[in-house]
Amino acid sequence: MRELLRKNIANLTPYSCARNDFTGKAEVYLDANENWQDFVEKADANRYPDPLSVAVRKKVEEVLGLPFSKTVLGNGSDELIDNLLRCFCEPGKDSILLMPPTYGAYKVFADINDVGVSTVPLTPSFGIDFPALSEFLQREKENRGGEGRLKLLFICSPNNPSGNAFPLDEVRQVCELFDGITVVDEAYYDFSEKESAVKLLDSYPNLVVLRTLSKCWALASARVGIAVADEEMVSVFRSMKYPYNLGTPSQELALKALGNAAEVEKGLCLIKDERLRLEEKLKTLACVRTVFPSDANFFLVRVSDALSIYHYLAGMGIIVRNRSKELHCENCLRVTIGSRKENDRLLAALAAYKER
């Protein structure tokens, strides 16, 4: 891992904030240039948050089983993706590997960081193309020696937009094939029955698993992402992240949601029940060609005419995502599983759709 880090990150002296210097309890805090006044009647809003989100990470260990010493929190998992690029990829030299169609932010953040993007597409049924992947990685290894190299490989499981999760054994195979950092983005893990890549962390110190509270935990506005990795790796992430990347209100919301795990479990069951129902009903509709199997809280649906149906639904106040321009997603819409009422509105609208 150390070898793969950018030199400036490996040699970094981290910013030392007031909350790092003194972590005990005191009566008078004059160490952080805060304002002692409170204009929003919110206790502690005038104080900087805990930079290491200790209470939340303890709760994450208790509730999600992700070890405290192996986690770092981000302002959404989006921040963690960006931080991975900034830690490992030398701008203008290094590159990452994506398996499209996949989550669009990986490429956008790579572009922002001037990091190259190579691709080994998924198969048309959204499986990992192992012959192509091993050939690509072999070739990359043989051609090393110039300035940059392939540093990160992103596996999104369950994959956005296709919805399928990859079996753990396939993730293990990728870790075996790749000698850089394998990132498994498990944003939709809670909706899946497949095993988490967290199980592989002890065997593969170059593995990073990303989770988020934005989906199953219904906290998209709080922006709480979790990276789980080897202790040495997360200590690097902690050293380079913005010191106060997670505000106190977000940390409090995370604690509240994680303290409400029984309710969240019930909510998850509702979504899974709706997933079954929606899949069956969608399949009966005239305009629906294929409903791709989903391990997530959305479906990729191939329809007769995605653009026309997208506009038709929008006209009825129902917004879905047109993914037709993504690889292997011709005429595909991505539909989030909503409440029973919302799904019924979608189904009724689609049933009334007349082909143009």
Query: Cα separation of 44 and 280, whole Å?
Result: 49
Shortest Cβ distance from residue 193 to ligand PMP (Å)?
18
Asked if 104 and 128 touch (Cβ cutoff 8 Å), the reply is: no
In this structure, what are the phi and psi dihedrals at residue 38, rounded to the nearest 5 degrees? -130, 110
Stretch touching ligand PMP by CB under 6 A, among 46-54, 212-220, 276-284, 286-294: 212-220
Amino acid identity of residue 140, one-letter, is: E
Helix (H) / strand (E) element for 286: namely: none
Size of the site for ligand PMP (CB under 6 A): 12
Q: Is 297 in the site for ligand PMP (CB under 6 A)?
A: no
Residue 123, token pair as written in the block: 């198969």
Task: For residue 214, state whether it binds ligand PMP (rule: CB under 6 A).
Answer: yes
Structure tokens belonging to residue 265: 């479990």
- Residue 76 binds ligand PMP, judged by CB under 6 A: yes
DSSP label of 159? P
Contact between 185 and ligand PMP (CB under 6 A)?
Answer: yes
DSSP at 255: H
The residue sitting closest to ligand PMP, measured at its beta carbon, is 76
Q: Which of residues 147-176 bind ligand PMP (CB under 6 A)?
A: 156, 160
Closest to ligand PMP by CB, 168 or 218:
218
Q: Does 295 bind ligand PMP (CB under 6 A)?
A: no
Q: Would you count residue 187 as binding ligand PMP (CB under 6 A)?
A: yes
Neighbours of 135 (CB within 10 A): 12
Smaller CB separation from ligand PMP, 204 or 298: 298
Q: Which stretch binds ligand PMP (CB under 6 A): 12-20, 73-81, 194-202, 314-322?
A: 73-81
Q: Is 77 in the site for ligand PMP (CB under 6 A)?
A: yes
Residue 110 CB partners (closer than 8 Å, separation 6+) = 85, 89, 95, 96, 116, 117
Residue-level length of the chain:
356
Interacting residues with ligand PMP (CB under 6 A): 76-78, 103, 156, 160, 185, 187, 212, 214, 220, 225
